[in-house]
Structures are given as structure tokens and as C-alpha cells.
Amino acid sequence: MTLSPASPAGGQRAAADALAAGRPGRGAAVELRHVRKRYGAGRDSTTVVDDLSLTVAAGELCVLVGPSGCGKTTTLRMINRLVEPTAGQVLIDGRDVAAEEVTALRRRIGYVIQQTGLFPHQTIAANVATVPRLLGWPAARIAARVDELLTLVGLDPARVRQRYPAELSGGERQRVGVARAMAAEPPVLLMDEPFGAVDPIVRARLQDEMQRLHRALGTTIVFVTHDVDEAIKLGDRVAVLQEGGRLAQYARPAELLARPASEFVARFVGADRALKHLALLTVADASLADGPTVRDGQPLGTTATIAPGDPYVLAVDAEGRPLRWVGRDAAGAPVGSSTAPAEPPLVVLRRGITLRDALAEILGSPAERGVVVDDAGRYLGLLTVEAIAVALRAAETAP
């Protein structure tokens, strides 16, 4: 994910990002006040959403997550009034949505759904142009905006503009869906399981790109999913809903993992929540051990600080970049001439990777430690399993 191939499309995308970043902070706050949705009347009625109150700050990405039947989609649809609440209020930037003309309201709110809902009889360009057309933008402005948006979501306008949705792959269609939702620069974007129908590899890439877009555009996003991992990965805040449409917990992902508010939340986030929490922390969050190093080609014996019992010493080059582990039983002999058996392969970790990935790498290595380097590849210190455990405990008890 960190590698992005240098390509003309990549350059265009960077330009589009820069353009988008030039107008940040356009998000609007979304507030739900004691919202309730009940279908039917009297004894036969079912409560789908029950007295739900939550606030999404402007520019935040809020994920509504929960098992099926928890009312998360209904909640989302009450924001753009595809469902009218039985009681309570929904406010966008402090204004009650019920007081607004419904089509005008919806044209200001982006809407992305799992099955994309692209118009099969219209070209990709016409699909993306939907809301600007409804708003009566001039044709030239629409055409320019369409190309800008397609580039922004990583599609080549010249290739896809005149195609029909059926000619694109599932992942490409989903990108078009996102471009269409953002066409008129809505301050709020609603997304209902947008990546639920694409394969895991494409989903991970779309998630990464959406995070990038969200950071660049500053749009407020309300995102529905049933996938806890997706919620934790994407959400600035996560609202866990339980059956009957009650809010079980509303918190930042780390808080949710460290301190689930109830048995339900603990079970829903899963028994492996410690591992999930590690995915939110990076190597930079852990404290590193100061392992001894030796310059390549120099005698090992000159390194006075080798701790007894430590079987290996790290060899580094002139710039301080780690080269390999050197066995201690070769002490006294120059590094590189060692005949010691089987020196373990080097596990090199960049500071930015997650502790979860780091843990997996370390456990897979006979040396049982990772060599942490900075962005230039220079040695910083050693990371051990114990240090990861300490970092996790610190994060879980942090306020």
C-alpha cells in the first residue's frame, strides 16, 4: 500500500489531490438527536432505531457498525430522508433536515451504496454528472468536473468517459459511484457498505484511497459496514449499534478496542481485539532496545557492549544501515569471516508500519527481534515481543 507506482495517472492523481486539498474543511457537522424509527403501530410495531443520539464533527469519518438488523442502514437513510424518523431530529450544521426541501437536501448529500446504483443506460461521464446536471451547472463546468473527479478516484477519464457501467469491473464501478457522489462537492457523504461487494484485495485498495480522499477533501463521512475490521481501519469514530437499533458504544477505534463498554461490544469487536488494537499502533509507539552494533569488516571484539547471553550482534555499514546478524561465537574474528552456523535472516522494520505487522514479522524470525530503521534506512534500535506488549498495555490504559 505504501508503494505507489510512478505513472502518468499517479501524477495526475497527485495534481487532483493538490487541487482538492486547496479547499479543505468543507465538511458539515451531523447530529442525531433522540432519533427513533418504528414500523407498524401498536403491538405489532418493530423498533428499528431506538432513541439514537450521536454527533459527527465536521470533517470526521464516522462508521456505523453492527450485526444485521441493528438499524445502521436505516440510521444512514434518515440523514438524507430516504427514511423519515418516527421521532427525533437530524441536524446538518445545526439545521433540521426535516425543514428542508427534500430533493434540495439530497443534492447536497453524497450517497454511495453497495450495489453502486449506477444508471446502466448512461455513460460513466453522464453518471458522474448526475447531481451537477440536476443543479443546472453549465455544460463546460460539468465536463471539467467529471474529468477531475474520475482522475481523483484513480480512473483515466479518456478511457472510461464514454463507456457504460456494464463495461467496467466491480472495483471500477465502485470508484465511479464515489466520484458521482462527490460531484457537487457535498459537505456530507453517506456510504452504505460501499466496498461490500468487491474482493478483499480491491477492497483494501479502495479503503486506502478513500482514506486519502477523506483527508484531502475534509468531507464529513457517515459510513455503514458490518465489518469490524473495516470500521476500525477507517473510522475516526465508530458507533457500535446492537439489535433493536440501540447505540452500544460511540468511541474512537482505540478506545473501543481497549475499553469495550459492554459484553456485547467486547464480543462484537472479537476475542482478537488486542491484535486489532496493535493494527492501530505503529512501531514508533513502542520503545526500542539499544542493541550493540559493529561496523562491517571490523573485529567483533572491539564492540565492548555485547551483553552476555545475547547470541547475535548487528553488523551495520558506514551509513549505519543494518546488514546482517553476526554470531557471538565468532567473537574476536573480523565480521564477515565468521564461520558460525546459520545466522538468522534480518527482519528490518520501518517506523511507520503497524505493531501488528511488526509482531508477525518478529514471530516469524529466529532472532526474535526486529531491526527498526528510519526513513533513510538507518538503524534506530531493536523491537522485541515484550516491547510490543508493553506498548499495547500503555495504549490500553492511556486516557
Partner 1 sequence: MTPGEPLVSWDWVFSHLGDIGQRVGEHLVLTGLAVAIGLLLSIGPGIWIARHPRYYGPVLGFAGVLYTIPSLALFAVLVPITGLSLVTAEIGLVSYTLLFLIRNVVEGLGAVPAEVRDAALGMGYTSRQLLWQVELPLALPAIVAGLRIATVSTIGLTTVTALIGQGGLGYFILDGLQRFFSTPLIVGAVLSVALAVAADGALVLVQRWAMPWARQRA
| Contacts with partner 1, residue ranges (CB under 8 A) | 80, 82, 102-107, 111, 113-122, 130-131, 134, 164-167, 180-181, 190
Write down the least CB distance from residue 121 to partner 1, Å: 5
* 180 vs 233, beta carbon nearer partner 1: 180
- Smallest gap from Cβ 108 to partner 1, in A, equals 8
When the beta carbons of 117 and 311 are compared against partner 1, the nearer one is: 117
Rounded CA-CA distance 143/124 in Å is: 12
Q: For residue 283, what are the CA distances in angstroms to 50, 158, 396?
A: 41, 42, 16
* Residue whose CB is less far from partner 1, 118 or 359: 118
Q: Which has the closest alpha carbon to 323: 333, 311, 338, 313?
A: 313
Residue 115 or 287: the one with the smaller Cβ distance to partner 1 is 115
What is the smallest separation between the CB atom of 55 and partner 1, expressed in angstroms? Answer: 23
If the CB atoms of residues 82 and 306 are measured against partner 1, the closer one turns out to be 82
Annotate 328-362 with DSSP letters as a single string. GGGTTSBTT----S-PPPP-EEETTSBHHHHHHHH
Residue 17 vs residues 8, 44, 58, 72, 393: alpha-carbon distances, Å:
14, 51, 20, 31, 37
**Cβ distance to partner 1 smaller for residue 82 or 261:** 82
Closest CA to 258 of 243, 242, 240, 280: 280
Phi first, then psi, for residue 362 (nearest 5°) are: -65, -45
Q: CB 354 → partner 1: shortest distance, Å?
A: 35
Q: Are 327 and 311 in contact (CB under 8 A)?
A: yes
What distance in Å separates the CA atoms of residue 360 and residue 279, rounded to the nearest whole number? 11
Q: How far is the CB of 196 from partner 1 (least distance, A)?
A: 12
Residue 76 or 278 having the CB closest to partner 1: 76
C-alpha grid cell, residue 57: 464533527
Q: Could you tell me the smallest distance in angstroms from the CB atom of residue 347 to partner 1? A: 46
Select from 143, 137, 105 the least CA-distant residue to 123.
Answer: 143
User: Is the CB of 120 or the CB of 308 nearer to partner 1?
Assistant: 120
Residues 6+ apart with CB under 8 A from 378: 319, 320, 321
* Residues 41, 54: Cα–Cα separation, whole Å: 26
Smallest gap from residue 107 Cβ to partner 1 (A): 4
Shortest spacing between CB 349 and partner 1, in angstroms: 44
79-to-31, 97, 215, 230, 373 alpha-carbon distances in Å: 9, 8, 22, 22, 46
